[in-house]
Amino acid sequence: MQSKSMHRLGKFSLTLAFVCLYVSGEAKSISDSGNTLVTKHKVEQSFAVRSLKETLQELRNIYGIQFSYASNVASDLPLQVPENLTGATQVEQLLKRILTPSGLKFKKVNNVYIISKDEKTIPVKAVGYQVPAAASNLENTSRVADITVTGRVTDENGEGLPGVTILLKGTAVGTATDFSGNYSLNVPDGAGTLVVSFIGYQTQEVAINNQTSLNITLSPDAKALAEVVVIGYGTQEKKDITGSVAVVDAEAFENRPNNMVANLIQGQAAGVQVQSTSGKPSAGLSIRIRGTNSINSSSEPLYVVDGVPTTDTRSLNPADIESISVLKDASSAAIYGAQGANGVVLITTKRGKEGKPRFDFSTYRGFSTVWNTLPVLNAEQYRDLMTELGYNTNWSQYTENTDWQKEVFQKGTSQNYQLSFSGKNNGTSYYVSGGWVQQEGAVRSAEMDRYSFKVNLDQEVNKWLKLGTSIGVTRYHDVDVTDNTNVNSGGVILGVLTTPPVIGIYNADGTTFTSNPFQNWENPISSTDAADRGYRNNRIIGNLYGEVEFLPGLKFRSNFGLDSNSDIYDYFLDPYSTSYGRAMMGIGRNTTNYNTYFIWDNTVSYNKEIGKHNFSALVGTIAQKWRWESAGVETRSFISDAITTPNAGSQLITATASKSEKTNASAIGRITYDFADKYLLTANFRADASSNFGPGKRWGYFPSFSAGWRVSEESFLSGLPVINDLKLRAGWGIVGNDQIGNYAYFGTVSSGANYPIGGAAQPGSYPASIQNNDLKWEESEQTNVGLDISVLNSRITFTADAYLKNTRDLLLNAPLPRSTGYDNAVQNVGQLQNKGLEFQLTTRNFVNDFKWDTDLNISFNRNKVVDIVGQELYYANVSSRGEVSLVREGLPLGTFYGYTWGGVDPETGMGYYVDRNGESTFTPTAEDRTIIGNANPDFIYGITNNLSYKNFGLNIFLQGSQGNDVFNATRIETEGMTDPKNQSIAVLNRWRAVGDITDIPKAVVGSTANSLTSTRFIEDGSYLRAKAITLSYNLPATLLSKVRANNLRLYVTGENLFTITKYSGFDPEVNAYGSSNTTQGIDFGTYPQTRNLIFGLNLSF
Amino acid sequence: MKTKRLIIYSLGFSVALGLSSCEDFLDLEPISQETSDTAYQTASQIEGALTGTYESFQSSQYYAWDFVVYQDIRSDNAYAGGDNAEIFTADKLTVTTTDTRVYSAWSSIYNAILKANTVLEKAPLVTDVSLTEERRAQILGEAAFLRAYHYFTLVKLFGGVPLILEPTSSTDPAETDVPRNTEEEVYAQIIADLEYALDNRLPDSYGSDASVNKARATKGAANALLAAVYAQMPNRDYNKVLQYADAVINSPAGYTLLTNYDYLFDGNHYNNSESIMEVQYLGGNEGSWAPQMHLPPSLSGDTWRKFTTPSHDLANAFDAEEDAVRKNATIFWEEAPWADEYWGNAVGSEIPFAYKWRNAMGWASTDRPYIFRLGDIILLKAEALNELNRITEAATEVNKIRLRVNLDGITATSQEQMRGVILKERRLELALEGRRWDDLVRYGQAIEVMNSLNEVDLRTGTATNYNATQADLLLPIPQQEINRNPTLTQNPL
């Protein structure tokens, strides 16, 4: 009995050894390829005796591998270990050699090396396992056990998982699986629940239900693994980040097709507003990170593609992107100092991963339509209106009935093909891809296509030198459609609304375009079809880096990046089909730009861990230079349309070429420190010089500090297992902005003011700007506090951030009185404020066969112009009725300004307005204009639901904006009734006779009195739209193995399937003024967002 | 390990090298522009600055053709056409304070003044020996003339305006926000500038090349401007008008009336002997787009409705005088593919077109506006003589103008009657050349003439009511400018 119980005790102790706390090594790896970086190193041959723990810690430090082992196995087991662990070619071989003699073995599970006792081998040296203090208690409870549950714990592939902890819920009774994943546990009765947990896997609870045999399958928990985030000049573990960084990884955007980088971010990250200013295939997207930071200087963020900064991302292929980090606050962006004021978007492209070569092929085909049409007057209604306006013609000549929306809006198509292969061997990792995307827009003639090639290579030359390169080559092409202007200026979208139905497309001659019966506004097809036009861009963006490791932890990295692109815009208007073309006898234009940019940065970084103190430092220098060159030629007078290049025109109108440059030089530094993963500190410093400022004001200094406290690591919270992670963050910093135009401080004198004297043009000059030696950096001081919390086995994670940004010394292109002869001058005046709240909530609602994840983010930003030295700035003169956008102290950018609409006087039919004294008037004066709206949303949000069941997946991405006004200037054109344009059916309600009660005034030719810029055209632009819904199916493994494929996914995506909005125009997601800081939310015949249906296939083998 | 050391040393070296050249790296000068420190050092540079000043006659929309809008369309000579709402408001005397054309005129004319101010400031500082003192004086005279000309335009459009006589060098509101000067002060400055220009600075001519002499400011141009200024300013001095008009007429430059009136506009007689100064266009990239705005489809090559339509009242004025020569030189008739609310409210009606520019040339015409021509000055002289009660002599001058267009001479009866004759003669002689509104204002007849017009809008069948008041004599100060410079006061509205 005694011996039996002793035996039992001994056996129990052995089992218990595995139950003890698993010490998890700290992951330094970037991805699951991290540990493979070193697999081919050479093993050095001299050996020493060291403890297992020490050895594993060193391996972890050197190779960034993660280990998991029972603490008692580890602590003082002496091993024969090579003197120098660095340079091992095969980490696994090395491990085997070290562990086997001690009767240990390892298994690599989900990127973690699990060290355990090898039952099959006899240890060379006996190991004295120590029974942990808790064991005696456990023994007591285990004595009352009366049933034994046995079984096997396996991973998702059915392989046994060793070292899995199995606890009886609510007790200390527990065990761990053996090397094959088998376990056996004595429990008091069959009513309890087993809690099965293992690092890297989602914890499961299984009711025993009187069963004695329970097999359990664990599913991997990607999120629980140390998530590594790309930050400026380095990477950091997510748990250590103290600034505000949003990460959008491939997982979030692989589910749906995308053509543009900005699409990947839209609705995915709190605090990031992606404004699609138009639905054109060629449309760039405008991104605002935490509001608009400047008035005249750019407010677009900086993009950094594999270390090469850029502003134009249209030529990047989203399929090549591995992850995107958005650095939102000053403490994370300050390392980019000069260029970081508007936030930084770090784009990391894919690199080869360990394993056999992998091929990925993806393709899709899509169809797009304008989802909304606006009803306009038919032929009869148009004639009535014209007659009422006093326009008279021989109506019998105008018998057509053309639906211009039908003629111009078409079924757009898109297709995309993408092939890549990647892999890694012998220290070389490679990723090579090629892609082609082609789109025809939903508006006639709009198109876009892009070829892209990408090569990423990394080579470990030897144990201390690593070299690599990333090269992307693209050819981008688009054909634009003129929008955001009225039909008078060739605006196509307003053209389809205001061109009367009574005319056909061509005149009787069959070659010339028709025009309005009363005014020679040619029909919109003339704008889409008459001119041959196109933009082509060829671009090479890439870098070359070398990394030298002097000592463990001390690295020097030199990176040379290049962005070289050339673009050509061609335009040819034939000499016969349009009135303008006939007058000019044809126009040929060719404009070319050649832009080069280089960056050379050199950094030294050092990491050191002393006990619980972790320390890293980075210092470096950066030099950047931009050079822009452009040339243009225009000729007129062509014989025919046979030759479309300017060489065939006889009359030279323009021939010009010019160049400019900008340079920046910078020094950067960063220190991070953490104590026991609990207290985290980061300090950044960047000194930045810009050639845009004069010698005395050239340098700007941009410090930042941030701190984090991982409360969950504190002992007082360790008793709360419900909280997996809780971190408080706070940061402060200053970032700068110099994006105000090259040579900004100079008083420049431009040429080209040539004038003929003596029968030939003489060269003339003119003063172009005022010298300003005091011009200096615009500074944005930002404070951020945040909270990250993860609870219930990381089923719920929540991030909240609050920020305050004060931008001061605004680089304001401040208007000057025109009596000075200048329009404006760049000055450092004024202050702008953005403050806001951001929340991001991720929940894993179901985690078994049926999986459902939800990601919700919502952002509130408040923008305010604090100080512009009392000036008032006016922008956006729409439809020649005065400016609609006002910049005034105390108000946000994007404030609408105009008259207050009163209504329609039943007696006269004229619209009346409310003047500044609150009295109604038919003839308000400029002083009666007031604030009439605000284009800034109260909040923006995005909701992504990922559902899957077995091989089916459903991704629903909703996105919305709430509380923003839109100034619908389109309605000035379609409800103004001042000229012979066709109008919307709203005007059927117009006033016609005394006593008519209506809100549409009477038609008065040539008078804008009834259609002043007023509250009449302000609308609620709030919307919620199904941005993308994707249904996908992954072919089952059994079928895949027959075709030797790893993965085959079929999907269908619907974009903009529905939109909930009260907005009356084509689409609420518009801005006629693109990415303007001051003018937002104006719809003036903007190319609308389209509804797209896309069918796609992804295949990898 | 040797390679490692080598790499480290070379890296260290290149970093050090990079840092030492840092300031050079950052010290960039514009490549395709000059800077204010270096742009005015040589003789050719100051010539360039002066040429740039002349260029405002081309680049300013006002001088390109908007002077027709505010002189002829605004007055009784023409209606607005085209599709620009703001030109219609000019026609109907309902220009708003936020009108962008008015603002553009204000802005571009002040830009021309900045250029002139720059030349006046920089020319005395040029040390380049190749700049002769004679040429330096001419340059100063030309710039002073141009500044005077632009202030004359402004004061006629807006009344008293801010007098800015030096290039703005600071963005300090104390310097930039200049309040309005009075009309008298502006005129005084104009006269001072012109007297300065005539003080041994401007020559009668720059040699024998008419394409230089009609391009640049000359004594003749300065005298012509002074004659016009003394006639237009509130406290007129007709002795001075007479003095300066005579100075033009008797100029050694030898201005003579062309025998054939049509030659002035036919495009084959640029820089002719009647021209005192004209805006130089050569076509192509030195072409004028203005004629395209006026000419009918058969001449312009396009079918847009044109922006200037001569009025019934103007056509009637020619007919009443049986003045076929000038009528045919001023108006061209054609059946237009659009309806016109005054001439024929149906497509295909015959309507008149402005015809003093005749070559559209695809928006790049060689046709020129006259800044001054002798015919204008002779009539100014007649005006002065009449006001000085030398009525018979006045009639003699008028008859010089009438004679060449085959009209009978007139005989003077009374000063008052002669005033009417001269005003009418100016109208017929100078129609659509941008003189009419100023003439009506000068004669104190603008309000009466506009309100007694009987121009029937065929769409409504009623005569257009122009409702002219004293406030319509001047354009409003652009509200956009008042926003930028709050010290400005608005004209009566």
Strand partners, A887: A873
pLDDT classification of A77: cutoffs 50, 70, 90: low
Mean pLDDT of A869-894: 86
CB distance A514 to A522 below 8 Å: yes
List, edge to edge, every strand of the sheet that includes A308-310.
A245-249, A321-327, A344-349, A302-305, A308-310
Determine whether the interchain pair A623/B18 forms a contact, defined as Cβ–Cβ distance below 8 Å.
yes
* B21 at interface of A, judged by CB pairs closer than 8 A: no
157-176 of B, contacting A, C-beta below 8 A: 161-162, 164, 167-171, 173, 176
Element (H, E) at B51: helix B43-54
Say if residues A463 and A434 touch (Cβ distance below 8 Å). no
Residue of A651, A662, A742 lying closest to B284 (CB–CB): A651
State both tokens at A994: 């005394």
Side chain identity, residue A1063:
Y
Rounded to whole angstroms, the Cα distance separating B139 from B123 reads 7
> Closest Cα of chain B to A685: distance in Å?
18
- Closest approach of A651 to chain B, Cα-based (Å): 6
Highest mean pLDDT of the ranges A173-177, A848-852, B488-492: B488-492
Question: Kind and range of the H or E element at A725?
Answer: strand A723-737
User: Under DSSP, is residue B137 helix (H, G, I), strand (E, B) or coil?
Assistant: helix
Segment (H or E) for B152:
helix B133-158
* Higher local confidence (pLDDT), A346 or A51: A346
**Candidate from A177-181, A595-599, B238-242, B441-445 with smallest mean pLDDT:** A177-181
* Cβ within 8 Å, pair B286-A637: no
pLDDT at A2: 43
Given CB atoms, is B79 within the 8 Å cutoff of chain A?
no
Distance separating alpha carbons of residues A57 and A25, to the nearest angstrom: 8
pLDDT tens-digit map of A974-1028: 999 988 999 999 999 999 999 999 999 999 887 888 999 999 999 999 999 998 8
Which residue, among A191, A245, A197, has the nearest Cα to A221 in the 3D structure?
A197
Contact B55, B266 (CB under 8 A): no
* Neighbouring-strand partners of residue A302: A344
Contact B163, B150 (CB under 8 A): no
pLDDT in tens, A183-218: 888 888 878 888 887 766 777 778 888 888 888 888
* Torsion from C-alpha of B382, B388, B392, B395, nearest 10 degrees: 20
* Spatial separation of the C-alpha atoms in residues A372 and A369, rounded to whole Å: 9
Higher per-residue pLDDT: B184 or A824? B184
Instruction: Give yes or no for B33 touching A (CB within 8 A).
Output: yes
Quick one: pLDDT at residue A583?
83
Q: What's the whole-number mean pLDDT along residues A400-423?
A: 92
Q: What proportions of chain A, in percent to the nearest 5, are helix, strand and coil? A: 15, 50, 35
The whole-number average pLDDT for the span B417-437 is 96
Q: What is the pLDDT at residue A144?
A: 46
SS (H, E, C) A1055-1076: ECCCEEECCCCCCCCCCCCCCC
Chain B contact for A771 (CB, 8 A cutoff) = yes
Q: Is residue B315 less than 8 Å (CB to CB) from chain A?
A: no
Residue found under tokens 């029968």:
A759
Closest residue of chain B to A688, computed from CA coordinates: B26
Specify the 3-state DSSP secondary structure of B76.
coil
Name the least confident of A97-111, A675-689, A778-792, A890-904.
A97-111
Interface test with A, best of B89, B107, B338, B467 (most A CBs within 10 A): B338
pLDDT band (50, 70, 90) for residue B101? very high
Taking 60 as the threshold, does the pLDDT of residue B64 lie above it?
A: yes
How many other C-beta atoms can be found within 10 angstroms of the C-beta atom of residue A1097?
Answer: 14
Residue A631: exposed, middle, or buried by beta-carbon count in 10 A (0-12, 13-18, 19+)?
middle
Q: How far is A156 from chain B (nearest CA, A)?
A: 46
| pLDDT attached to residue A413 | 92
Distance from CA of A747 to the nearest CA of B (A): 5
From chain A, the residues in CB contact with B106 under 8 A are 818-819
Asked if A480 contacts A347 with a C-beta cutoff of 8 angstroms, the reply is no
Q: How far apart are CA A242 and CA A616, in angstroms?
A: 14
Report DSSP letters for A145-161, one per residue.
--EEEEEEEE-TTS-B-
Residue A853 and residue A835: Cα distance in Å, rounded? 30
**pLDDT confidence bin for A10, thresholds 50/70/90:** very low
Q: What is residue A512's DSSP assignment?
A: S
Instruction: Give the closest-approach CA distance of A288 to chain B in angstroms.
Output: 29
Pairs of residues, one from chain A and one from chain B, whose beta carbons lie less than 8 Å apart: 314
3-state helix, strand, coil in chain B (%, to 5): 50, 5, 40
Is pLDDT above 70 for A701? yes
Query: Could you tell me the CA-to-CA distances from B84 to A879, A1006, B80 in Å, in that order?
Result: 10, 9, 9
- Concatenating the DSSP letter of every residue in A4-43 gives HHHHHHHHHHHHHHHHSPEEEPPP--SSTTGGGGGTTBPP
Evaluate if residue A142 carries a pLDDT over 60: no
For residue A1000, give the DSSP letter: B
Mean predicted confidence (pLDDT) in B70-74:
97
Structure token digits, residue B187: 């005129």
Cross-chain residue pair A1006–B346, CB shorter than 8 Å: no
Written as one letter, the residue type at A908 is T
CA B325 distance to own-chain centroid: 26
* pLDDT average, residue stretch A556-571: 94
Q: Could you give the CA distance from residue A230 to residue A30 in angstroms, rounded to a whole number?
A: 9
pLDDT for position B7: 62
Tell me the average pLDDT across A1031-1056.
Answer: 85
Distance between A970 CA and the closest CA of chain B, angstroms:
17
Average confidence score pLDDT of chain B: 93
Q: What is the per-residue DSSP string for A799-839?
A: EEEEEEEEEES-EEEEE--GGGS-SEEEEE--EEEEEEEEE
Using a CB-CB cut-off of 8 Å, the residues of chain B touching A397 are 347
Q: Which residues contact B38 (CB under 8 A, 6 or more apart)?
A: none
pLDDT of residue A74: 45
Residue with tokens 């690295």: A555
Q: Given an 8 Å threshold on Cβ–Cβ distance, is A816 in contact with B216?
A: no
The residue type at B475: L
Break chain B into its structural domains and give their ranges.
290-367
Q: d(Cα A240, Cα A236) in Å, to the nearest integer?
A: 7
Residue A84: what pLDDT?
62
pLDDT per residue as tens digits for the range A520-557: 889 999 999 999 999 999 999 999 999 999 888 899 99
Cβ neighbour number for residue B177 with a 10 Å cutoff: 17
Q: How far is C-alpha A838 from the chain's CA centre? A: 16
Secondary structure (DSSP) of A203-252: -EEEE-TT-SB--EE--B-GGGSPPEEEETTEEEEGGG--S-EEEEEHHH
Q: What is the pLDDT of residue A547?
A: 93
Q: What is the DSSP letter of A1016?
A: G
Enumerate residues 255 to 314 of chain B having a beta carbon within 8 A of any beta carbon in chain A: 280-287, 292, 300-305
Model pTM score: 0.79
pLDDT digit string, tens, across residues A929-966: 999 999 999 999 999 998 989 889 999 999 999 999 99
Residues A327-338: tens digit of each pLDDT:
888 777 877 766
Region B69-78 average pLDDT: 97
CA distance A746 to chain B (A): 6
Give how far A861 is from chain B: nearest CA, Å: 29
Q: Please identify among residues 129-148 of chain A the ones whose CB lies closer than 8 Å to any CB of chain B.
A: none
What's the farthest any 2 CA atoms get from each other in chain A?
126
Chain B contact present for A887, CB below 8 A = no
Checking if the pLDDT of A46 tops 60, the result is no
B182 touches chain A (CB under 8 A): no
- Distances in whole angstroms, Cα of residue A605 to Cα of each of A224, A336, A671, B485: 28, 17, 10, 54
A1051 vs A1038: CA distance, rounded Å = 19
**Environment class of residue B38 by beta-carbon count within 10 Å: exposed (0-12), middle (13-18) or buried (19+)?**
exposed
Residue B351 pLDDT > 90, yes or no? yes
Q: How confident is the model at residue A123 (pLDDT cuts 50, 70, 90)?
A: very low
Confidence grade of residue A44 (pLDDT, cut at 50, 70, 90) = very low
Report whether pLDDT(A909) > 80: yes
B118 → closest Cβ in A580, A602, A767: A767
The answer to whether residue A874 neighbours chain B at the CB level (below 8 Å) is yes
* Chain B residues lying within 8 Å of A814, measured CB to CB: 171
How many Å apart are CA B75 and CA B65, to the nearest integer?
15
Provide the token pair at B412. Answer: 């003077």
CA distance A173 to A194: 10
* Cα angle value A374/A378/A384 (rounded, 5°): 125
Backbone region of residue A794 per phi and psi (left: phi > 0; alpha: psi in -120 to 50; beta: other values): left
Q: Which amino acid, one-letter code, is at A425?
A: N
Q: How confident is the model at residue A223, as a pLDDT?
A: 45
Average pLDDT of chain A, as a whole number: 83
Strand A182-187 and strand A78-82: the pairing is unpaired
pLDDT at B12: 62
pLDDT per position as a tens digit, A827-853: 888 899 999 999 999 999 988 889 899
How far is A404 from chain B, CA to nearest CA, in Å?
21
- pLDDT more than 90, % of chain A: 43
B104 touches chain A (CB under 8 A): no
Tell me the torsion sign for CA atoms A1086, A1087, A1092, A1096: negative
Interface of B with A in 435-474 (CB under 8 A): 457-460
**Most confident of the ranges A111-115, A266-270, A850-854:** A850-854
Strand-pair partners of A566: A538, A594
Location of structure tokens 């112009």: A865
What's the ipTM? 0.95
Partner-chain contact A748 B30, CB within 8 Å: yes
| Burial class of residue B322, CB neighbours in 10 A (0-12, 13-18, 19+) | exposed
Q: Nearest chain B residue to A759 by CA: give it.
A: B211
Looking at residues B362-371, what average pLDDT do you find? 93
* pLDDT given for residue B4 in this prediction: 61
- Asked if B302 lies within 8 A of A882 by C-beta distance, the reply is no
